[in-house]
Structure 1
Amino acid sequence: MRKKCVVWAVVLCGAISSHAQVCQPEGMAFRVKEEAFNRSQVEELSQFMTDELGPRLAGSQMSERAERLVVDRLKEWGLANPRAEVASEYPKGGWDNEKNYVAMTFPYYCSFAANPKAWSGSTDGLVKGECMALDVKTKSDLEKYRGKLAGKIVLMPVQQEYQISYEPLASRYTDAQLQRMTQDRRPGKRRQASDGENWKAMQELQHAVSLFLKSENVLAVVCGGGTFNVPTSRRVEYKIGDSQPVPEIILPIEDHGRMVRLLNRGKKVEMELDIQNRFTETRHVNNVIAEIPGCDSKLKNEVVLIGAHLDSWHGGTGGADNASGCIVMMEAMRILRALGISPRRTIRLALWGAEEQGYYGSRGYASTYLYDSKKGSALPGYDRFALYLNMDFGSGRFRGVYLEENDQAVPFFETWMKPFKSLGFTTLSPFKVGSTDHVSFSVLGLPAYQFIQDPLEYDRTYHTTMDTYERLSLEDLKVNAAIVAWLTLNAAMDDNRIPAKPGYPEAYSRR
């Protein structure tokens, strides 16, 4: 009797395992780790993506240069069909900063670390002028400045004040924090009240201020943004065909605040500026694409997609945001290529354009291959979409995956992640997250995911002029590249794939 029970148990377990999720062999995991850790090209690739490529503002000449150099690198690796592919029309056009000098000259001389706002205008060579602080809370407040600002350098009100923090500048997730991420929040979620009216009013006021200052012929506008004497990166509203905007400069809050305080105390302040920017009529955004073709007669047209955005802001070299993601995704492709793997499904790398300006690249890809929003219907690529993996939360190590409330993905990742749990890759969170390119696909119900990443110092450094090579954690990038290569391989080889969310894409068309 005991022997019969054992036999039946073995038969039952065999029947269950034949339908269970399958992971690639441990020997293959060993090969991926060997290539990723002992023959890594992460350090060289990190210098290439930051120091060599430089800033990559969407539509800029620097961005187009970066695309060419990256395509050349992918060709060198022997990836299939590397190209810069038009993704979307781009109304903003191109903009490159070519000179940037900003200083206070009275009551004493002090040169500043400054950052021109993207798509703002140039000065007429070196200009000097007296500063005036603006205090505008409503459109009617503008009238008190009419006729008084010509030839002046206008300092906008202080919007950010420094607060001493006793938290570490960089951090990693604790076990307790990761555990909280595994708890499903959906039962307790409440619909947030819309803040649309306040946002609209703020935008209207900013637009009115910009028009007024231009009509008053000010020399330049100076704003505060960024702490520790490091300015942030921002933009002005501009599209091809508009007249050139007023020069606008961002100073760190320490320098901006110093001059505003002097002016508010009745002291005279003067500055000199030499800002030269170049506008180009770049009318489209590209994605950089390359592939490892699938070899299975039934599955080769299905696509496992991995990606990160190639564009950056103009102040630094886009190290953590998002050269780090490009480095990981490119290195993952190099690893798979170096191992000579012939996947069943096609593996496609996409380095997106203009994520920082509104997901132009990934949205363009989705509208070209996956879903026709005008017709409200799926395209052939929708049913061939196997998985998308995205990296855009800095340079920190992967700790798990945000599953976008798709419970169907759990058994796949639980199985695939086992060989990398010893490296801290352990957490599956049901949370939905936003603010990056996976949203272009997850909103369609497709299996598209952003990784849970250690924060490191990301919140302090991204979108600032200090986002450079130094913000990269090379050890973490090596681990991340190995994980991406492994998950991608499993998704490309599995008999099954993570399904789209039930009810999609019809649910998207009803939004």
Structure 2
Amino acid sequence: MKKILHLMLFVGLSLNAVAQEKVDEAAVKKIRKEGLENSKVMDIAFQLTDVVGPRLQGSPGLMKASKYAVNQLKEWGLENVQLEPWGEFGKGWELQKCYVAMTAPYYKPILAFPKVWTAGSNGLQNAEVLLVDESDTTALEQYKGKFKNKVVLLYSDAKLPSGFNPDVKRYTDEELEKMAKAEIVVRTGQPAGGPGGNPAMREMIANMRRATYISNKTKEMAKADGAVAFLSINARGKDGTLFVQGGGSYKATDPENMLDLVVSTEDYLSIARLAKAGIPVKIDLDVKSKFHTADLKGYNVIAEIKGTDPKLKDEVVMLGAHLDSWHTGTGATDNAAGSSVMMEAVRILKASGLKPKRTIRIALWSAEEQGLHGSRNYVKNHLTDTVKQWSNAAGEKISAYFNLDNGTGKIRGIYLQENEAARPIFTKWLEPFHDLGAKTVTISNTGGTDHLSFDRVGIPGFQFIQDPMEYSTRTHHTNMDTYDHLYPEDLKQAATIVASFVYHTAQREAKIPRKEKK
């Protein structure tokens, strides 16, 4: 009975808080008109993708995108616009040429991309494929001395992924309702099966570690023997989609790794079958990459709309997204989409003539793909008491940070990141956008991107819920991550909602409530 009374009391208080929270209907009307009728979000996305190209950390493409953002934000009238260094990152890397083809037993172009921070081929090479089909490092010893001038293929028994499920998906009403009803899970003790999960999970992890170790050992031997290149597979891909990330170290003092090429699943499986059948396979390779070492620092783009209230203007509302990408596509959904939306959100606020009480600060982060380096270092450099590992005085002035980094899908709501006190606030702020499909507030966490840098030191950091679309199946870290996989109406909707959230955060009498330190 006590539980029911407590629940009824909580629901009553939440409903009362929702009723008390204010929405500036006149401001929302202006924001909606500018964001939905006069949008520039696709113009921004075009500049960041087709015009700039890939934006790998430390590459000329990322610097070009950063300078474009700086100039555009200045043109819109933002203040304190700067390209701010956050610390040393390491070497940049740029792909300048990539030609791969099978020349025997017949000619066939091969769809392939090198992993970043790996070496090139030193000109055109024609080399025979050496199939390595072993399950332990002891058996690898038989290949010692045989790698010279070979293209090495580590055998995989992978199969082409099923094509029965659709690539593109929106959240259903049932899925959103389940999110809204989620509860905080308090974990105590060890999970079933002891540390690391159940026995099946432990075996899977052990197999993955064993495969990684064998792969690394094979590369080590191949490089020592003078192999030409290594062919890899990422078995998630199909229909010509390649999932490609890093294959070498970006630390300034580390040596270059051997050329490692991810080959399309279809091409890889064909080559593997031929080699396993004893049919000689030859590969043409001409791959040129360039390491950039002149400037080892990382940079974030920072800009502000200054607050107008004498008492609140020193407090800050932040919004951001990461500007860097991988190298195979043009980083459209990851994360030109988020960067374009956040840039468009501040443009909307400026164009609407709204005067926020608190300062609004946009940040476009770098090196997110390598571990949230840009946002983590910004928070460390400016907002953290390094002794207490918690927000400092400047951090306490941040009301909230809003992030967007889950592709091109429209906003369906927001993750509370276990900050239950923010629920009634965000619930009210979503009401003007129910007609655009955004109404879900979930207590759940979501990880893997820059809001975590703020959340970890007690600053309210939030990520919006977005329709998944084809993010995981087709575009995330792939050669298909291009402008034409963006959904214009979704990005217009997202920018409009972000602008409203940021504005209302700037106008509240109090900052967004904070979670208690655990």
TM over 0.5: yes
The 5 Å alignment of 1:178-257 reads 178-187=176-185, 193-194=195-196, 198=206, 204-225=213-234, 226-238=237-249, 239-257=251-269
CA drift of 1:38 comes to 1.3
User: Is 1:452 aligned to residue 465 of structure 2?
Assistant: yes
**Which residue in the other structure is 1:34 paired with?**
33
Are 2:21 and 2:424, in contact at CA under 8 Å, matched by a contact in 1?
no
**Alignment-mate amino acid for residue 427 of structure 1:** T
CA drift of 1:23 comes to 2.4
User: Is 1:499 aligned to residue 513 of structure 2?
Assistant: yes
**Alignment-mate amino acid for residue 259 of structure 2:** P
- Describe the SS at the equivalent of 2:84: strand
Distance in 2 separating the partners of 1:160 and 1:347: 49
Distance in 1 separating the partners of 2:332 and 2:378: 24
**Alignment-mate amino acid for residue 342 of structure 1:** K
- Describe the SS at the equivalent of 1:240: coil
The 5 Å alignment of 1:79-90 reads 79-90=78-89
The 5 Å alignment of 1:304-323 reads 304-323=317-336
Q: Which runs of 5+ in 1 are unaligned?
A: 1-15
User: Is 1:289 aligned to residue 302 of structure 2?
Assistant: yes
Further displaced range: 55-64 or 239-248: 239-248
Are 1:126 and 1:274, in contact at CA under 8 Å, matched by a contact in 2?
yes
Are 2:505 and 2:511, in contact at CA under 8 Å, matched by a contact in 1?
yes
User: Is 1:147 aligned to residue 145 of structure 2?
Assistant: yes
CA drift of 1:145 comes to 0.7
Residues 259-283 of structure 1 deviation map (CA, whole Å, 9 limit, x = unaligned): 0111011111000100000001242
Residues 38-87 of structure 1 deviation map (CA, whole Å, 9 limit, x = unaligned): 11112212211211111000111221121112211111111112111112
Aligned residues: 489
Are 2:18 and 2:428, in contact at CA under 8 Å, matched by a contact in 1?
no
Are 1:113 and 1:230, in contact at CA under 8 Å, matched by a contact in 2?
no
**Which residue in the other structure is 2:406 paired with?**
393
User: Is 1:378 aligned to residue 391 of structure 2?
Assistant: yes
User: Is 1:71 aligned to residue 82 of structure 2?
Assistant: no
**Which residue in the other structure is 1:121 paired with?**
119
The 5 Å alignment of 1:258-277 reads 258-277=270-289
**Alignment-mate amino acid for residue 209 of structure 1:** T
Residues 395-432 of structure 1 deviation map (CA, whole Å, 9 limit, x = unaligned): 00100001111101111101211111111111001111
Distance in 1 separating the partners of 2:319 and 2:20: 21
**Which residue in the other structure is 2:7 paired with?**
none
- Describe the SS at the equivalent of 1:62: helix
Residues 439-470 of structure 1 deviation map (CA, whole Å, 9 limit, x = unaligned): 11122232111111111111122111010001
Going from structure 1 to structure 2, the CA distance change for 1:444 and 1:375 (only over 3 Å counts) comes to closer
Work out which of the residue numbers 421, 431, 435 in structure 2 matches 1:418.
Answer: 431
Distance in 1 separating the partners of 2:273 and 2:411: 44
**Alignment-mate amino acid for residue 194 of structure 1:** G
Further displaced range: 168-177 or 209-218: 209-218
Distance in 1 separating the partners of 2:130 and 2:377: 44
Are 1:157 and 1:223, in contact at CA under 8 Å, matched by a contact in 2?
no
Distance in 1 separating the partners of 2:487 and 2:63: 27
**Which residue in the other structure is 1:13 paired with?**
none
Are 1:289 and 1:348, in contact at CA under 8 Å, matched by a contact in 2?
yes
Distance in 2 separating the partners of 1:121 and 1:401: 42
**Which residue in the other structure is 1:11 paired with?**
none
**Alignment-mate amino acid for residue 301 of structure 1:** D
**Which residue in the other structure is 1:349 paired with?**
362
**Alignment-mate amino acid for residue 434 of structure 2:** K
Going from structure 1 to structure 2, the CA distance change for 1:34 and 1:378 (only over 3 Å counts) comes to closer
- Describe the SS at the equivalent of 2:21: coil
Distance in 2 separating the partners of 1:113 and 1:54: 19
CA drift of 1:211 comes to 2.0
Are 1:100 and 1:115, in contact at CA under 8 Å, matched by a contact in 2?
yes
Going from structure 1 to structure 2, the CA distance change for 1:212 and 1:276 (only over 3 Å counts) comes to same
Going from structure 1 to structure 2, the CA distance change for 1:159 and 1:46 (only over 3 Å counts) comes to farther
CA drift of 1:393 comes to 0.7
**Alignment-mate amino acid for residue 371 of structure 2:** G
Distance in 1 separating the partners of 2:43 and 2:228: 43
**Alignment-mate amino acid for residue 255 of structure 2:** S
CA drift of 1:205 comes to 4.2
Residues 295-325 of structure 1 deviation map (CA, whole Å, 9 limit, x = unaligned): 2222112111101110000000001111000
**Which residue in the other structure is 1:97 paired with?**
95
Work out which of the residue numbers 159, 176, 192 in structure 2 matches 1:161.
Answer: 159
Residues 171-192 of structure 1 deviation map (CA, whole Å, 9 limit, x = unaligned): 1111101001112343475765
Distance in 2 separating the partners of 1:398 and 1:374: 37
Distance in 2 separating the partners of 1:241 and 1:139: 28
Are 2:219 and 2:230, in contact at CA under 8 Å, matched by a contact in 1?
no
Aligned sequence identity (%):
39
Residues 313-343 of structure 1 deviation map (CA, whole Å, 9 limit, x = unaligned): 0000001111000111000000001112221
Are 2:391 and 2:459, in contact at CA under 8 Å, matched by a contact in 1?
no
Distance in 2 separating the partners of 1:59 and 1:202: 30
- Describe the SS at the equivalent of 1:417: helix
User: Is 1:403 aligned to residue 420 of structure 2?
Assistant: no
TM-score by length of 2: 0.90
Are 1:101 and 1:274, in contact at CA under 8 Å, matched by a contact in 2?
yes
Are 1:399 and 1:453, in contact at CA under 8 Å, matched by a contact in 2?
yes
Distance in 2 separating the partners of 1:300 and 1:17: 29
- Describe the SS at the equivalent of 2:152: strand
Q: Which runs of 5+ in 2 are unaligned?
A: 1-14
CA drift of 1:258 comes to 0.5
- Describe the SS at the equivalent of 1:230: coil
User: Is 1:474 aligned to residue 474 of structure 2?
Assistant: no
TM-score by length of 1: 0.91
Further displaced range: 355-364 or 492-501: 492-501
Are 2:389 and 2:457, in contact at CA under 8 Å, matched by a contact in 1?
no
Distance in 1 separating the partners of 2:73 and 2:182: 40
Going from structure 1 to structure 2, the CA distance change for 1:187 and 1:77 (only over 3 Å counts) comes to closer
Going from structure 1 to structure 2, the CA distance change for 1:58 and 1:410 (only over 3 Å counts) comes to same
**Which residue in the other structure is 1:490 paired with?**
504
Distance in 1 separating the partners of 2:154 and 2:371: 26
**Alignment-mate amino acid for residue 411 of structure 1:** P
Distance in 1 separating the partners of 2:351 and 2:162: 49
Going from structure 1 to structure 2, the CA distance change for 1:21 and 1:443 (only over 3 Å counts) comes to farther
